[in-house]
Amino acid sequence: MKTITNSKKDLFTPIKIGDMELKNRMIMAPLTRNRAGPGNVPQDMNVIYYEQRAGAGLIITEGSQISVQGSGYPSTPGIYSKEQIAGWKRVTDAVHARGGRIFIQLWHTGRISHSSFQKDGALPVAPSAIKANGEAVTYEGMQPFETPRALETSEIPGIVADYVTAAKNAKEAGFDGVEIHAANGYLIDQFLRDGSNHRKDEYGGDIANRMRFLKEVVEKVIEVWGPNHVGVRLSPENTFNDIQDSQPQKTFDAVARMLSDYPLAYLHVLEGNMITGDRVVDYKQLRENFSGLYMSNHGYDQASGNKAIGEGTADMVAFGKLFLANPDLPERFAQEAALNVPDVDTFYGGNEKGYTDYPAL
């Protein structure tokens, strides 16, 4: 159990993750922007976008699919082909040249995908054949989610192997580490939550079984990267993508305890529900169940971020929209300068407008 202590630290205090020193505790959150090039390969404007934000203590890239099966949105980058590895290498080289650190987020969308993304038009896969309410974003526009195919027990090791391959590819691409995306209603989160996991085998039922898939992914990815280079992202009460759990506090306290058994770089938690704004889970309690570094996310600004770090309820704070619109966010915070306003209309897809054209100070 982690003891929370008061300190005089703030967002500008450097922090060590294993042998890696971050220059500050302002983390760029993973942000899907739908601007990858043909073949889901990072392109020139992606290099510029991440390079502009190298002042973050750590950049966590947008979710990047570990396989064709894992894809679920138009123009999102992957980390499974040689061309994608080469595209990401250009990004990591640019960030490192500016003294930045960068992790890639490993992503499998599970039932939130659509047959139009899948090989031979196959159905998306999930823990159970339970259709999500809502619509998938496809190249042909919005289409209703499909009822996914429940994974056979024998198929699960193959998906774990896809995470391992992606982790190896991330090393080849020059990343400093990886973040396992276990949040926001995607495949790992679908296994964790009892609303989407009705399995009768060793991957379903009680929470010990439901978190078995995450446990196996974490173990195998750490074998690739070693200690302190693998993070995990959770979203205990977020209902995005029609994901639900009947006992989120109990479920995710257990997940946090399980993850404490591993030498993670950090636990990254989206606090609250990004759909409703509700915040029912006790995140201080969840944080006390995790023995490593804790990264808070969701609606923080400079004042609340400094408060969380100063009071010890977080070791790092991830900023999403603020980094999207302010490539030089740490400098603006340091000078208490005005912040650019995010252009919501350009969040997803498009060109450089609303992507690389936000002005620096």
What is the per-residue pLDDT across 138-147, written as a single tens digit (0 to 9) for each? 999 999 999 9
Three-state SS sequence of the chain: CCCCCCCCCCCCCCEEECCEEECCCEEECCCCCCCCEHHHECCHHHHHHHHHCCCCCEEEEEEEECCCCCCCCCCCCECCCHHHHHHHHHHHHHHHHCCCCEEEEEECCHHHCCHHHCHHHCCCEECCCCCCCCEEEECCEEEECCCCEECCHHHHHHHHHHHHHHHHHHHHCCCCEEEEECCCCCHHHHHHCCCCCCCCCCCCCCHHHHCHHHHHHHHHHHHHHCCCCEEEEECCCCCCCCCCCCCHHHHHHHHHHHHCCCCCCEEEEECCCCCCCCCCCCHHHHHHCCCCCEEEECCCCHHHHHHHHHHCCCCEEEECHHHHHCCCHHHHHHHCCCCCCCCHHHCCCCCCCCCCCCCCC
Render pLDDT for 67-121 as a digit per residue (tens, 0 to 9): 999 999 999 999 999 999 999 999 999 999 999 999 999 999 999 999 999 999 9
pTM: 0.97
The full set of domain ranges for the chain reads: 15-346
Q: What are the catalytic residues?
A: 186
**What digits encode the pLDDT tens for the residues 259-313?**
999 999 999 999 999 999 889 999 999 999 999 999 999 999 999 999 999 999 9
* Residue 316: pLDDT band with limits 50, 70, 90: very high
pLDDT of residue 6: 45
pLDDT at 2 over 90: no
The CATH architecture annotation of domain 15-346 reads Alpha-Beta Barrel (3.20)
